[in-house]
Structure 1
Amino acid sequence: MRQTWRWFGPKDLCSIDDITQAGAVGVVSALHHVPNGVVWTSEEIARRHTEIATRKDGTASGLTWDVVESLPVSEDIKKQKNAWRDHVANYKVSLQNLADSGIEVICYNFMPVLDWTRTDLRWGVPNGGSCMRFDINDFAAFDIHVLERPGAGASYTNAIADEAGRRFAEMDDGARKQLTRNVTMGLPGSTESMTLDDVRAHLDEYGAISRERLRANFVDFLEEVVPVAEKLGLRLCCHPDDPPFALLGLPRVMSTEEDYRYILEAVESPANGMTLCSGSLGARPDNDLPGMMERLGDKVHFLHLRNVKRDSDDIIGSFYEAEHLAGDTDMVALIAAIIREERKRKATGRKDHTIPMRPDHGQDILDDLGRRSQPGYPTIGRMKGLAELRGVITALEHAKLGLS
């Protein structure tokens, strides 16, 4: 695996110097300041390459921009409304410009309205650190009582709806505003966030969209951009839904192994692949992460290695971001499956036999607690995660003790 690190640009509290010291060799980044649907120009892309390649003192960092995360798919494209055709055309131009700069792997997602969603961005854990958490009861309180989505109560069990009502009644105005900020925070690193009215407007435009319709819109998008990506030698990889179940009455279509099979088979191409995020997919108890890597591994172009701990075995439930080796996913078994896939690729001559990975998310510990960095992306917590993952990889690849 090629060990990479997510960087949100010059405003990121984790600097390029920090990344080199953490031991990563590549960077995962995006042009977060460019609005969704707008072309990524060659000039802006070149500027980001230079920023990644340069330390504070002007010397070479030795780091390269390995993966784009994310080249956003606009809401208009997902809904197939308004300027969606223009946005698809702009997406193709951005792909060309990225390919011209030497980048090959591009991550994106197809989640409607909300990207990754958490109800608490700094939830306390027993060791004194903090992490991100999704609590289904708090989310229901937001959906039913803050957003006041029509018919929202019917989306939850009676027990969840009742608990949501109790919690909402106990919240003061500050707590309700904080919950709203947490849920509507938007894309990681993005300058775009949504107000309640923005969310309501998007929901109105989506209407009662079916799972089949959203899937069809996704396939339409892929049929447009995948041939371009294949011609350019790019590998597109869709990130799973986070969390991996329906929210706000809208379907989500990249939550399970079956979801991935459908999309990968609908537009068959080496350019159409997946980002295997063990944290997002691991929030569902019916997702077998090592098995998914074994069965779909030839289509995995990018890896997010993180872990979550579920409160229950309910498909739709609560969870928090655990330490990388301490959650419900068997990380050692997953890494073993990844190594086997890499060896298989190398034996067949695939040039992409080394899969880029990054230690995704992390708990805020030590000095992280005072930095207030991008939620989910503490420097020390991620460095600890990378060290743990690197240890597992080293042991499994050891000539005498590892996988045969």
Structure 2
Amino acid sequence: MFHSWRWFGPADPVTLSDIRQAGALGVVTALHDVPNGTVWPADRIAARKAEVEAAGLVWSVVESIPVHEDIKTGAPGWEEKADAWAQSLTNLARAGVKTICYNFMPVLDWTRTDLVHELEDGSRCLRFDQTALAAFDLFILEREGAAADYPAERIAAARAHFDALSQAARQCLADTVIAGLPGSEESYSLSAFRERLAAYDGLGAEGLRGNLAAFLARIVPVAAREGAVLAIHPDDPPRPLFGLPRIVSTVDDMAAIAAMADTPVNGFTFCTGSYGVRPDNDLPAMFSRFADKVHFLHLRATKREQDPQSFHEAAHLAGDVDMVAMVARIVAEERRRGVSLPMRPDHGHQILEDLRKTSTPGYPAIGRLRGLAELRGVEHAVAVLT
């Protein structure tokens, strides 16, 4: 695997020097300050690439070029925004950055309800609590029709959870859910969030799937012409939220997307943490079935809790992901294709000095260093023994 590390640009508390010292060879980054729906200028791309290379690293993957909400809903004028997206891809590919991660999650990117959940050993991690999410949906957002999405026992638990929260805790929950997490494409107020949700009324999974197919029909030929590959990220978490459809959550979803454009250019980011939240997802089998279309790897583990709809980020070799089996499949595919797939240790626990420093939620330095070291060790052992 080509060992990479997510970097949020010059304002990231983890510097390029830190990343190189951690043992990474590549950087996964984006032009996060370019407005969604506009073209990434070639000179800005060149400057970012030069900055990364001056530190002795490679810009290995773009994560991500945001897909405008109008593209996802099929709103009038979506074609122009798709063409802007394609021009950004073209500018990146011509600069030598040719692996393009993107997502098609409606309204919100990845969603959590707690950014500093404390584990038994004193470390902290990201957590998704379904009851807390329901409390936000029902009693803070007050989404119309929300009660129909939850069983009576969940509503009762959400009511009790909400009633026990202070006003400050209620605001913290709202901010965590909708104010924008690292790498997210949008940040919303409550009123703006309600408006964005309303734009999806009546669309459903089939409608969203059709809009993805239309988007791919427009951009896959551009990517093929420029020698780039597309890598769609799975839903996180991989199930509907706030009445919104999700279409990148299961093996059947992967099959439907692969059929939209039968070419390796139309590929996947395989995130073990996202897919691993669902107990019905057989990760090694899913990877093997679509291995020739996997262009980027997010390696992390999630742990489903007693409430199976709740989970937290586990250590990279713990949780519900059989990481050794996954790495074995990855190594075999790399040998078959003669490639080194870019990977990054996704997320990480706050440990040691991470606990006393300001870091981007989910992306502490030492926690990810531990994850990268563990994953490199597994990869080395698998490569020697197979």
**TM-score per shorter chain, which class?**
over 0.9
Q: Distance in 2 between matches of 1:159 and 1:209?
A: 28
Q: Where does structure 2 lack aligned partners over 5 or more consecutive residues? A: none
Q: Deviations over 1:229-250 (max 9, x none)?
A: 0111000000000000000001
Alpha-carbon shift at residue 208 of structure 1 (Å) = 2.5
Which runs of structure 1 show a deviation greater than 6 angstroms over 4 or more consecutive aligned residues?
none
Alpha-carbon shift at residue 185 of structure 1 (Å) = 3.1
Instruction: Decide which moves more: 152-161 or 272-281.
Output: 152-161
Q: Distance in 2 between matches of 1:174 and 1:82?
A: 40
1:139 maps to 133
Provide the TM-score with structure 2 as the length reference: 0.98
Where do residues 4-403 of structure 1 align in structure 2 (5 Å cutoff)? 4-54=4-54, 61-189=55-183, 192-312=186-306, 314=308, 317-346=309-338, 353-398=339-384, 402-403=385-386
1:57 maps to none
Instruction: Decide which moves more: 19-28 or 337-346.
Output: 337-346
Q: How many aligned positions are there?
A: 386
Q: Deviations over 1:338-396 (max 9, x none)?
A: 111111112xxxxxx11100000000001111222111000000000000000000111
Q: Distance in 2 between matches of 1:142 and 1:36?
A: 27
Q: Deviations over 1:16-57 (max 9, x none)?
A: 000010000000000100111010010110111122123xxx
Does the CA-based 8 Å contact 1:285-1:313 persist in structure 2?
Answer: no
- Aligned partner of residue 28 in structure 2, secondary structure: strand
Q: Distance in 1 between matches of 2:263 and 2:279?
A: 30
Q: Distance in 2 between matches of 1:333 and 1:370?
A: 35
Q: RMSD of aligned C-alpha atoms? A: 1.2
Does the CA-based 8 Å contact 2:277-2:303 persist in structure 1?
Answer: yes
Provide the TM-score with structure 1 as the length reference: 0.94
Instruction: Please tell me the residue identity of whatever aligns with 2:187.
Output: S
- Aligned partner of residue 10 in structure 2, secondary structure: coil
Q: Distance in 2 between matches of 1:155 and 1:237?
A: 31
Alpha-carbon shift at residue 210 of structure 1 (Å) = 1.2
Q: Deviations over 1:107-159 (max 9, x none)?
A: 00000011000000010011111000000000000011100001101111222
Q: Deviations over 1:278-310 (max 9, x none)?
A: 000001111111111111111100000000000
Alpha-carbon shift at residue 62 of structure 1 (Å) = 1.5
Q: Distance in 1 between matches of 2:314 and 2:181?
A: 21
Identity of aligned residues (%): 52
Q: Distance in 1 between matches of 2:84 and 2:248?
A: 24
Does the CA-based 8 Å contact 1:33-1:191 persist in structure 2?
Answer: no
Instruction: Decide which moves more: 267-276 or 304-313.
Output: 304-313
Q: Where does structure 1 lack aligned partners over 5 or more consecutive residues? A: 55-60, 347-352
